[in-house]
């Protein structure tokens, strides 16, 4: 079993995984100001709460969209496992053929999502990752990474209008009973939930036209299960896409 860590702007997801299954997952808030010692204590305790010993792990791998935390978390994991930790980036083999203008600009999270999706689903593939930002990745039928989109995330959008419009409150993201709201809060919830669901449906329609064939559509990220049930197109929710991709990248790069 290895430790796989996905560091997002808002949350960190950590899982124990091997080629057979995912044994546990835990989530913690992303904190750029914690030291490697603080993260080591926190992660060690969370792993032990799930009945495992960090020292028994074969190794670890990190994908992060917060560059400032890469070294901090690498040191923390090496401290509690006693083994080297990989960080997804230049120098690691992924097997992904990236066709964007500057492949070095592609976020490690998008790389790992695509690696996992190619291994698991029929191509071509459209991948939505719904987190702080909503991202889109497009993989063609040959397995090439063509490019994608970056959009404001669901929570970011809701917080923006609440902060900028004095009469609009802060709301939760539970779906309203009706599409057409009859009060301010339900109108905001409907806009957030159904507006984003319609956006996903519309993007898939347009990407399908550009590709010339219908893709497999996969959604991951912390908000996927909030939005996808309200989409009209078939979209596969895969909560563990990132962890599975990290395992694949780890296996491609481990020695011995």
CATH of the domain at 45: 3.30.420.40
Quote the pLDDT of residue 90.
Answer: 84
What are the tens digits of pLDDT across the range 137-183?
Answer: 999 999 999 999 999 999 999 999 999 998 999 999 988 889 999 99
Same domain, 35 and 128: no
Same domain, 61 and 186: no
**Average of pLDDT values for 34-39?**
96
Q: Tell me which residues are annotated as active site.
A: 109
Quote the pLDDT of residue 176.
Answer: 87
What are the tens digits of pLDDT across the range 42-88?
Answer: 999 999 999 999 999 999 999 999 999 999 999 999 999 999 999 99
> Given 69, 87, 105, which residue is the final one in a domain?
87
Residue 108 assigned as binding residue: yes
> Given 20, 54, 87, which residue is the final one in a domain?
87
Whole-model pTM: value is: 0.93
Instruction: Name the packing angle between helices 241-253 and 108-120 (round to 10°).
Output: 90
Q: Total structural domains in the chain?
A: 2
CA 64 to chain centre: 10
> Given 52, 87, 122, which residue is the final one in a domain?
87
Same domain, 123 and 199: yes
Domain enclosing residue 179, as ranges: 97-244
Residue 107 assigned as binding residue: yes
What are the tens digits of pLDDT across the range 202-221?
Answer: 999 999 999 999 999 999 99
Quote the pLDDT of residue 256.
Answer: 56
Same domain, 177 and 203: yes
Residue 184 assigned as binding residue: yes
Local confidence band at 32 (pLDDT 50, 70, 90 cut-offs): very high
Instruction: Classify residue 255: in a domain, yes or no.
Output: no
């Amino acid at each position: 079993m290895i430790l796989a860590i996905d560091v997002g702007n808002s949350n960190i997801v950590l899982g124990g995984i091997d080629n057979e299954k995912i044994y546990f997952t835990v989530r913690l808030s992303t904190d750029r100001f914690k030291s490697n010692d603080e993260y080591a204590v926190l992660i060690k305790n969370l792993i032990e709460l799930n009945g495992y010993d960090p020292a028994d792990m074969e190794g670890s791998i990190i994908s992060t969209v917060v560059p400032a935390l890469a070294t901090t978390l690498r040191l923390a994991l090496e401290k509690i496992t006693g083994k080297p930790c990989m960080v997804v980036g230049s120098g690691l083999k992924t097997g992904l053929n990236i066709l964007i203008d500057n492949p070095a600009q592609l976020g490690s999270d998008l790389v790992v999502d695509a690696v996992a999706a190619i291994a698991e689903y029929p191509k071509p593939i459209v991948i939505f990752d719904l987190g702080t930002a909503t991202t889109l990745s497009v993989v063609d039928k040959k397995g090439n990474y063509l490019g994608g989109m970056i959009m404001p995330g669901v929570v970011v959008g809701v917080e923006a209008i609440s902060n900028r419009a004095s009469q609009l409150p802060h709301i939760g993201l539970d779906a309203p009973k009706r599409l057409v709201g009859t009060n301010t809060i339900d109108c905001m919830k409907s806009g957030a939930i159904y507006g984003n669901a319609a956006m996903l449906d519309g993007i898939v329609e347009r990407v399908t036209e550009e590709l010339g064939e219908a893709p497999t559509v996969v959604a991951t990220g912390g908000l996927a299960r909030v939005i996808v049930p309200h989409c009209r197109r078939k979209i596969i929710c895969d909560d563990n896409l990132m962890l599975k991709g990290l395992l694949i990248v780890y296996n491609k790069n481990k020695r011995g």
